[in-house]
Amino acid sequence: MRKLTNNIIGKNISIVVLFSILTISLNAQVNQPNIVFILADDLGYGDLSVNGGTDVKTPNIDKLFKSGVTFNNFYSNSTVCSPTRASLITGRYPDMVGVPGVIRGVKDQSWGYLCEDALTLPYILNKAGYETALIGKWHLGLESPNTPNERGFKFFHGFLGGMMHDYYTHLQHGNNYMRKNDSVVTAKGHATDVFSDWAIDYINIQKNRDSPFFMLLAYNAPHYPIQPPKEWYEKVKNREKDISDKRAKNVALVEHLDDGIGKVIKALKASGQYENTIIVFSSDNGGHLPSSASNGNLRGGKIDMYEGGIKVPTCMVWNNKIESNSALNVTGVTMDFYATLTYLAGIEINHEVDAINLMPDIGDKTIKKDDRTIYFVRRAGYKYSGLCYYAVRKGDYKLVQNSPFEEFQLFNILEDPLETIPLDDNPKEFHNLRYQLSQHIRKAGAIPWQKKEK
């Protein structure tokens, strides 16, 4: 049996000084870990108490961060839902798999179509013996062939669409997109509770099976409409005396989400599966400022290419395998979990991906430079004339554009994390990133993002 030493970073130090904390087998048939990936929707960077939120209490999510490795420089692949989700399940930039923007049921408002030949993460895990499930939000297609069951999830219990217009009726534009596999279902209760309960049901079913499982638990919360249960809202209003009604609703929706996540973790422990389960927590993009989300000290929010729109709170836990209270400073993106999780599951990838393994073997003690170029894209509708806008990150430099009609600006994120001082006097880095972006756009231009008309 071949083994490699995988090294998880110690608290607040660089990846290059990390040594033998995690040892795993690369044999895909031996002791494969379960994987639970928890994805929040529009969670603000400052809307966790572990991230410095002073008016929000998130003890269960906080505990996850303290129980494993925190990714200090982690980004969503886009400023909105569908592109990031496409990157998560394909390991590619979203415009490389046909999803540069939000997929919607209305043709003239839809800006993506997931490539039918993309090899998805659940598909790859299936081939390696995993049971796979999506609980919650899909948002990558409403019809065949782009439904969860057809894209690798053996079990789907959730919501096909994007945003719910009501957390209790679960409707979008009057349509019921709740499904159990391909069957329409009617659920009762707040969507966060519904998805937590369905996740717990799946965990309890899996405890009696020999196969490992991968469960993507994709909540709608705290995406607008900001609609927490009444008792959670009242608790926040009573506790935070100076809080506005709008802010209190957002905080309550996040705290209610935290409670649901706590119940899911409790179910993993009660079923005896926690010890060999990798748990990842992240968000699909930054917090929505008009809904009174907080992105802490970061500039901007959802839809922006500033840090507040794409930097997301992210951690990974694997009990007794990943060091608690540790941190990783290398820049990561949502798509990287494709390569990271397959590696930790002992699965070799033989097809093209853009993702990198965030937990590489560095037993040779050579320096790993954080020097790749990372691209962020969003295509959108009327306001943007159907065009894309971008950000590019390499090392400490970041090129930013927040609409197709805005000039690019260059920032040094290390020296200027609030992105307030454009580097007009650094034409070399500016033109270098612009050129690299042009080549990415050139490559992505070969990928169709609309379904061909019959």
pLDDT above 80: residue 148? yes
**Rounded percentage of the chain residues whose pLDDT exceeds 70:** 91
The pLDDT tens digits of the residues spanning 340-397 come to 999 999 999 999 999 999 987 533 334 456 789 999 999 999 999 999 999 999 999 9
Q: Are 285 and 376 in contact (CB under 8 A)?
A: no
Report how far residue 276's alpha carbon sits from residue 430's, in angstroms, rounded to the nearest whole number: 46
pLDDT for residue 454? 62
Establish whether 81 is a catalytic residue: yes
User: Checking phi first, is residue 425 left (phi over 0); if not, alpha (psi -120 to 50) or beta?
Assistant: alpha
Report how far residue 16's alpha carbon sits from residue 364's, in angstroms, rounded to the nearest whole number: 10
The pLDDT tens digits of the residues spanning 225-236 come to 999 999 999 999
pLDDT above 50: residue 2? no
pLDDT for residue 371? 84
The active-site residue out of 115, 139, 170, 315 is 139
Residues near 205 by beta carbon (within 8 Å), at least 6 away in sequence: none
Backbone angles phi, psi at 179, to 5 degrees: -140, 150
373-444, what's its fold?
Arylsulfatase, C-terminal domain (3.30.1120)
Q: Please state the domain extents for the chain.
A: 32-344, 373-444
Q: Are 186 and 180 in contact (CB under 8 A)?
A: no
The pLDDT tens digits of the residues spanning 167-200 come to 999 999 999 999 999 999 999 999 999 999 999 9
Please give the model's pTM, rounded to 2 decimal places.
0.92
Q: Count CB-CB contacts under 10 A for residue 129.
A: 14
Indicate the burial class of 359 (C-beta count within 10 angstroms; 0-12, 13-18, 19 or more).
buried
pLDDT for residue 391? 98
The pLDDT tens digits of the residues spanning 394-427 come to 999 999 999 999 999 999 999 999 999 999 877 8
- At residue 1 the predicted structure's pLDDT band, cuts being 50, 70 and 90, is very low
The pLDDT tens digits of the residues spanning 381-396 come to 999 999 999 999 999 9
What are the structure tokens assigned to 239, written together?
């506790």
Establish whether 388 is a catalytic residue: no
Class for the domain spanning 32-344: alpha beta
User: Strand pairing partners for 37?
Assistant: 216, 280
pLDDT for residue 364? 34
pLDDT above 70: residue 13? no
Report how far residue 93's alpha carbon sits from residue 9's, in angstroms, rounded to the nearest whole number: 26
